[in-house]
């Protein structure tokens, strides 16, 4: 075997660029290793705190005292005597199937830690392919400057869904990016979402929640409640989602972005475990109506190759935490507006 080295004048290959992951949420089950979305780069620090954003009252945990990092496996382990919360004290811990109404005090917010780290692993947040350019007119209008109204229309997730601050709600975060990208535009975000709504109720509210606002762009984000037991059957969901888009277009001429959603906690008894069907329908309606598609479902599924539902769900049922809202925000960003 001949050893191959760098000859005189040869330049060593550059190391792979690092991807920065900020505010990734993690929960800990005793001293069981908790998986991260990516493997932390060797030699790079991993920091853990108890709030999504550092601020007054933030507790910063200490490596070696509170946790241990396994860079090869991409895990973090809570140490004995750690100040990190233990999810085994959560009221829903160990429930094979649960009805949240029978467990007062349910929820995950006190159990999250948030990690910042760099990783050399390939970044999963690739753009969502879309036929044509359904947002070309909206892009031109933003570039021209002046008033531009965005309505977020959907259920409790679009309504805020337990984000810790209004500016961390996925669509508000996205609008802030758009405003920075198009400084001549005067972008106004309108919350047209209502907790508990399905596409059925959405059609009933369409006039007051969307059309009367005279929007330039509408985010249509349904599916979580439609998919539940006693929700909206898939065929009706497709018909009603199509009707929403058609009426928005005919009533306002606005561009439309259809936003899919993620599967709720699989141990929640009110879910049908059929979210894949509703996500497929959302993508199909986007193509059929010439709308843009924010593939939250696909990005969420990529994240859950390693992350658990408890890591991402603020209420441990069907509301994303701040990091989950970030996944939605990334899906919107991938639309290319």
| Residues facing residue 189 across a β-bridge | 150
Q: How far apart are CA 234 and CA 39, in angstroms?
A: 38
Per-residue DSSP letter, 101: G
pTM of this prediction exceeds 0.75: yes
Q: How is residue 336 annotated by DSSP?
A: -
Q: Digits of tens for pLDDT over the chain (337 positions)?
A: 223 222 334 444 445 678 899 999 999 999 999 999 999 999 889 999 999 999 999 999 999 999 999 999 999 999 999 999 999 999 999 999 999 999 999 999 999 999 999 998 876 665 555 568 999 999 999 999 999 999 999 999 999 989 999 999 999 999 999 999 999 999 999 999 999 999 999 999 999 999 999 999 999 999 999 999 999 999 999 999 999 999 999 999 999 999 999 999 999 999 999 999 999 999 999 999 999 999 999 999 999 999 999 999 999 999 999 999 999 999 999 999 9
Structural domains of the chain, ranges and CATH numbers in brackets: 19-119 (no CATH), 136-333 (3.40.50.1110)
DSSP 178-228: HHHH-TTEEEEEEE---TT--HHHHHHHHHHHTGGG--SEEEEE--TTTTS
What torsion, rounded to 10 degrees, do the Cα atoms 259, 260, 266, 268 define?
50
Q: What is the pLDDT of residue 143?
A: 98
């Amino acid at each position: 075997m001949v050893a191959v080295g760098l000859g005189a004048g040869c330049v060593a290959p550059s190391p792979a660029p690092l991807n920065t992951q900020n505010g990734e949420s993690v929960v800990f089950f005793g001293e069981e290793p908790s998986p991260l979305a990516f493997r932390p780069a060797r030699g790079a620090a991993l920091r853990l705190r108890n709030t999504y954003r550092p601020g007054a009252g933030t507790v910063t945990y200490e490596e070696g005292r509170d946790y241990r990092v396994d860079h090869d496996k991409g895990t973090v382990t809570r140490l004995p005597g750690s100040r990190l919360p233990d999810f085994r004290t959560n009221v829903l811990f160990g429930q094979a199937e649960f009805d949240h109404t029978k467990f007062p005090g349910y929820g995950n917010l006190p159990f999250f830690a948030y990690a910042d780290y760099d990783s050399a692993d390939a970044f999963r947040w690739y753009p969502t392919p879309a036929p044509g350019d359904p947002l070309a007119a909206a892009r031109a209008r933003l570039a021209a400057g002046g008033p531009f109204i965005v309505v977020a229309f959907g259920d409790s997730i679009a309504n805020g869904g337990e984000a810790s601050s209004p500016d961390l709600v996925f669509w508000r975060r996205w609008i802030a990016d758009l405003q920075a990208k198009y400084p001549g535009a005067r972008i106004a975000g309108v919350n047209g979402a209502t907790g508990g709504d399905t596409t059925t109720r959405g059609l009933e509210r369409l006039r007051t929640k969307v059309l009367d606002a005279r929007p330039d762009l509408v985010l249509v984000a349904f599916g979580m409640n439609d998919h539940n037991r006693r929700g909206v059957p898939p065929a009706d969901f497709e018909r009603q989602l199509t009707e929403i888009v058609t009426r928005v277009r005919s009533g306002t001429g606005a561009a439309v972005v259809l936003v899919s959603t993620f599967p709720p906690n699989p141990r929640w008894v009110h879910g049908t475990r059929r979210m894949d069907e509703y996500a497929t329908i959302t993508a199909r309606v986007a193509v059929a109506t010439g709308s843009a598609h924010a593939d939250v479902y696909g990005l969420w599924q990529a994240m859950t190759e390693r992350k658990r539902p408890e890591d991402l769900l603020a209420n441990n049922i069907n509301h994303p935490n701040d990091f989950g809202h970030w996944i939605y925000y990334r899906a919107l960003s991938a639309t290319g507006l």
